[in-house]
Amino acid sequence: MVVIKITTMNIVQIYKTFPDHTSCIKHLEKVRWNDIAKCPYCNSSNATPAPKELRYHCNNCNTSFSVTVGTVFHKTKLDLQQWFLAVSLVLNAKKGISARQLARDINVTKDTAWYMQMRLRKAMIEYGELLAGIIECDETYVGGKNKNRHEDKKTKGGQGRGGEDKTVVIGVLERGGKVRARKAKDVSCKTLKSFIKQNVKEGSQLMTDEWKSYNVLNLLYGHSVVKHAMGEYVNGCIHTNTLEGFWSLLKRGVIGQYHYVTPRYLNKYVDEFCFRYNNRKNSDIFELTLQKSVNI
């Protein structure tokens, strides 16, 4: 079988390349098994195909299975072409796509679209080598602007760092490389040190603002500071502008597309934005997403 590669991942190509459920199944089998079906329950290759049902029978553990078992698409009642279209739409939406918009585009209910997005976000979680080199570190606050609220709904300290109505998100970005970000309970020394140690190789050069909690990192990393409070945003190569650009993208997505994201699910949305940003130059991002979707 010839491997089908989709690089531009637009919905026209999805329709042309995968015109029906069967063609999607066959492609997933190639992505997951490379044409040699393996039982997801016992990992045996001794399986007999049942072409009419698009399933296999494992002769080792006597179990029936399909390529979607144990994947993002497990037990779905939707046509897989709708899933492939959803993948394309999510990946092409730089600032995200709302569940209601996705529902209209692929003809499902809003709740189904939301479920599909949450499943795809699970596949977008990335782990890998520690970031190294020049690393920008920063934190942002996700939540509504206090000045836009009615007087009876305004909160004390709702603007700037420490607003009790906002959720902290901390991040690190490797110059010319990837970004990692996560929801945090605060911006204390302990929280920042733990997150950065988990994601940045010791000895790297950190670029931060003057927030005092970053000073605890001086023994583990090189540390350069840009003084925002004094109106300084760039000092040679010292700045956090690249990461702040990512924060802008994240916030525009939350405000413009989702309007509101609860702290409970915020990390999943952050994972989606990080995945798209980290693979923005990857021409095979559609294939990568399918690979991760069948290997969660």
Q: What is the pLDDT of residues 22-81, one digit of tens each?
A: 999 999 999 999 989 999 999 999 999 999 999 999 999 999 999 999 999 999 999 999
142 vs 251: CA distance, rounded Å: 7
Question: Rounded mean pLDDT of 247-261?
Answer: 92
Asked if the model's pLDDT at residue 214 lies above 70, the reply is yes
**Chain segment 68-118, per-residue pLDDT in tens:** 999 999 999 999 999 999 999 999 999 999 999 999 999 999 999 999 999
Asked if the model's pLDDT at residue 204 lies above 50, the reply is yes
Looking at residue 3, its pLDDT comes to: 43
The count of residues in the chain is 296
Residue 116's contacts (CB-CB under 8 Å, 6 or more residues apart) are 78, 83, 86, 102, 108
Looking at residue 37, its pLDDT comes to: 95
Between these two residues, 31 and 162, which has the higher pLDDT value? 31
H or E stretch covering 181: strand 179-184
Are 67 and 25 in contact by the 8 Å Cβ rule? The answer is: yes
30 vs 88: CA distance, rounded Å: 19
Q: What is the CA radius of gyration of the chain?
A: 22
- Residue 131: which of 191, 184, 192, 195 has the closest Cα? 195
Pairing of strands 179-184, 134-142: unpaired
Tokens of 106: 């692929």
Mean per-residue pLDDT over the chain, rounded: 90
Largest CA distance in the chain: 71
Are 114 and 272 in contact by the 8 Å Cβ rule? The answer is: no
Question: Rounded mean pLDDT of 190-211?
Answer: 95
Looking at residue 211, its pLDDT comes to: 92
Asked if the model's pLDDT at residue 232 lies above 90, the reply is no
Asked if the model's pLDDT at residue 276 lies above 70, the reply is yes
Between these two residues, 4 and 169, which has the higher pLDDT value? 169
**Where do the H-state alpha helices sit in the chain?**
11-17, 21-33, 80-92, 99-106, 110-123, 189-199, 241-253, 266-278, 285-293
Question: Rounded mean pLDDT of 160-177?
Answer: 83
Above pLDDT 70, what percent of the chain?
A: 90
Query: pLDDT grade, residue 213 (50/70/90)?
Result: very high
In angstroms, what CA-CA distances link 183 with 65, 82, 128, 233, 279? 37, 31, 19, 25, 21
276 vs 96: CA distance, rounded Å: 9
Query: pLDDT grade, residue 158 (50/70/90)?
Result: low
